[in-house]
Structure 1
Amino acid sequence: MTTGTRPTPAQMPRRRPTPAATEGPALDPRPAHRKPWERAVLASSLPGNFRFVGIALSTHADGRGYFAHQPRVIGLVHDTGLHVGQVRVALAALLSRGFIRRSPADGPIDNADLVLTLPPGAFARARRDRQTTTNRSSADA
């Protein structure tokens, strides 16, 4: 096996540097409607207590995904019966997965205003899971 001469850096084609990837999923800036959001959270791979905090959070939202009165962390602690740390971790997971958005974006989660958002593909997965469950239950009958 023979190898040819290796190219030098001067012989290599020039490429433009790629832009740095943004952190987190690309989010839709519009709020998500409450019912599809709940289906998407329940169909997600989040742990059970994270989904529980998400559903408790959604009970405070109107149909369009906005909150008239923000529940804040302490309100979610009272609603769920979980510890403050558990609620903060669950909200951080929902935020990192793209299920909620906070304003201001760099502020602490305790005092931030939240809005329900759907990450890309979450609604389609929830709808697909719901259809397979519906088809399975009708086949069992």
Structure 2
Amino acid sequence: MTTAARPTPALMPSRRPAARPDTPTVGAPPRPPARREPWQQAILASSLPANFRFVAVALSTHADGTGHIAQQPRVIGLVHNTGINARQVAVALTALRDRGFLRLSPPDGRYDTADLILTMPRGAAARARRAQTATARSSADA
């Protein structure tokens, strides 16, 4: 039984060939404008406890521009990212869901199996903008 020769790094091309600008690229559609930054600002301006905001920001690093999380970190991933134990992460996710910052798909799913989607509750973006302008004013006065 013979096996094919394994490729070595020397046999690999030095870099990926560049796409020609006159030909459309086939693949993923263009990404929508990012919504992660306003979501993070709304989280940081909220009255959530600090460890809940920490879990939220850690979760948002996995999100794309639409708020969907392609590679779901699940509870165990958030435990590894934050260093907070699993029960506290689950409580933080529940608080985020109850306040409207997070949606589960399916809605009755568990955090270990359901997909998490970032959502912006009504009025949260406006509160974040007001908090940001107030901070800017106070630093300008100093």
Class of the TM-score when normalised by the shorter of the 2 chains: 0.7 to 0.9
Give the deviation of 1:100 after TM superposition.
0.5
Counterpart of 2:113? 111
Q: Which runs of 5+ in 2 are unaligned?
A: 1-33
- Normalising to structure 1: TM-score of the pair? 0.75
Amino acid at match of 1:103: S
Counterpart of 1:39? 41
- Structure 1 runs (4+) deviating above 2 angstroms are none
Higher alpha-carbon deviation: 123-132 or 109-118: 109-118
Give the deviation of 1:134 after TM superposition.
0.5
Encode CA deviations 1:78-105: one digit per residue, 9 max, x unaligned: 0000100000000000000000101000
- Normalising to structure 2: TM-score of the pair? 0.75
Percent identical among aligned pairs is 62
Question: 1:46 and 1:120 mapped to 2: Cα distance?
Answer: 16
Q: Map 1:1-141 onto structure 2 (within 5 A).
A: 33-140=35-142
Q: Which runs of 5+ in 1 are unaligned?
A: 1-31
Give the deviation of 1:108 after TM superposition.
1.0
Task: State the aligned residue count.
Answer: 109
> 1:35–1:63: 8 Å Cα contact kept in structure 2?
no
Higher alpha-carbon deviation: 106-115 or 69-78: 106-115
Give the deviation of 1:63 after TM superposition.
2.4
- Structure number with higher relative contact order (C-alpha < 8 Å, ≥ 6 residues apart): 1
Question: 1:59 and 1:111 mapped to 2: Cα distance?
Answer: 19
RMSD: 1.0
Encode CA deviations 1:90-137: one digit per residue, 9 max, x unaligned: 000000000010100011122110111011100000000000000111
Amino acid at match of 1:125: R
Amino acid at match of 2:85: H
Amino acid at match of 1:82: I
